[in-house]
Chain A
């Protein structure tokens, strides 16, 4: 669990306040990027560029924020994410917390997986692997 004092968290918070024009106190580990902070699609790209610079890491397209998994018709049925789709999502996003989401996986709920904590865990995994 991310504590609010972690060095990685603090740097991620700076990235988000700069990229999204929000205040420090709006950014908590469980804050969602879209619903809580109002991030739009181009902001995700901005966040990726800023994370790469801040942490000196390389983030391949779709690794932090997978954007095309649910375009596969085998993985969705209307708004419902199929078991195969959920499996693929979990495998592609080991940095995300699926608690709650996996009980009733919906395409429309996918943005809730993109929290501050998701980014922190992704960066921590990247730094450990380096």
Chain B
């Protein structure tokens, strides 16, 4: 299983705002255990989905030069369950962005109905933790994540070219 909890971006405005969707599927193994006979998308994985949406937004704002680490969940509230067949949409907005860190505000939708809010703080770990023995390569924005954004841009360009 790849640790990617969004399927595709549907909106991306550099340094400002992004939206990604995730289609919940019964093919996902964890749903058979959570819970047997009553599959529910774990809220912790919806937080991860928002963190990936917002994290790529924050990382792209500085051209993926730094490792962007989820540092704090400021708020995570959910009012409803998501089940197989539901489409989740994560909408993230950058509230502040400094050399050291960034804050984002996020809204989670299920089939276009708001079901949750997830506000996060990301740390630019290279700036904030210069004494850490970090790998030289960017260990956060691996190919899987960067491809998500490339795919979105390809699709956006393709649609723009359509008559």
Contact = CB atoms under 8 A, between A and B. Distances in A.
B72 interface: yes
Contacts of B72: 42-43, 45-46
Contact of A61 (B96, B98, B103): B98
B11 interface: no
Interface residues of A, number: 10
A113 B136 CA distance: 37
A36 interface: no
28 contacts: A18-B74, A19-B74, A42-B71, A42-B72, A42-B121, A42-B123, A43-B72, A45-B71, A45-B72, A45-B100, A45-B101, A45-B121, A45-B123, A46-B72, A46-B74, A46-B103, A46-B121, A49-B95, A49-B96, A49-B101, A49-B103, A49-B121, A52-B96, A53-B95, A53-B96, A61-B98, A61-B99, A61-B100
Contacts of B121: 42, 45-46, 49
Nearest to B103: A49
Q: Is the interface of B mostly helix, strand, loop or mixed?
A: strand
Interface string A111-127: 00000000000000000
Contacts of A49: 95-96, 101, 103, 121
Interface of A: 18-19, 42-43, 45-46, 49, 52-53, 61
A126 to B, nearest CB: 17
A90 B101 CA distance: 27
A45 B100 CA distance: 9
Contacts of B101: 45, 49
Nearest to B123: A42
Nearest to B100: A61
Contacts of B100: 45, 61
Contacts of B71: 42, 45
